[in-house]
Amino acid sequence: MISNTPDLLTYGRALATGQGLLETASQTERLTSFPGAAGYGIALGCIGGWVGHTGELPGYNTSLFYDTTTDTTVVVQTNSDIPSGDCEVSAVLTDDPRTAVCSSPATRMFVALSTALGHTFTPNPSK
């Protein structure tokens, strides 16, 4: 699939709301499929009111999330897949492991953006 940021912004909102993408019953099933407050359901995750998905290929990483509290979609795309933070297994970018969870570059940038928007996303740590 080939896309750009404006396309992903449109898709991210449709993915989270279902508008123009799914029938109401299908979207309801999708949004009630999360196993808990910080879970992954049918084709997307929901953590703290942020609904979306991340993706990674060698050398590329992205985060796409929709804030259900403000009707805001955030897309971050990076040309790196090197994690940073407190990662036990992977080589990481330089960071203070005492203050950062292990996460991909796009997720790290998304966390900073979500904080600037006033609704901080707290990712599940990946080790």
Q: Domain ranges in the chain?
A: 5-116
Its sign, for the CA torsion 6, 71, 126, 1, is negative
Tokens describing residue 7: 């396309």
Q: What is d(CA 13, CA 51) in angstroms, rounded to the nearest whole number?
A: 9
End-to-end, the C-alpha distance of the chain in Å comes to 28
How does 57-92 read in b/e, with b if 16+ C-beta sit within 10 Å? eeeebbbbbbbbeeebbbbbbbeeeebbbbbeeeeb
For residue range 54-65, list pLDDT tens digits in order. 888 888 889 999
Is 29 within 8 Å of 21 (Cβ atoms)?
no
β-partners of residue 104 are none
For residue range 74-93, list pLDDT tens digits in order. 999 999 877 776 676 655 55
For residue range 2-52, list pLDDT tens digits in order. 788 999 999 899 988 888 888 888 888 877 777 665 566 666 788 888 999
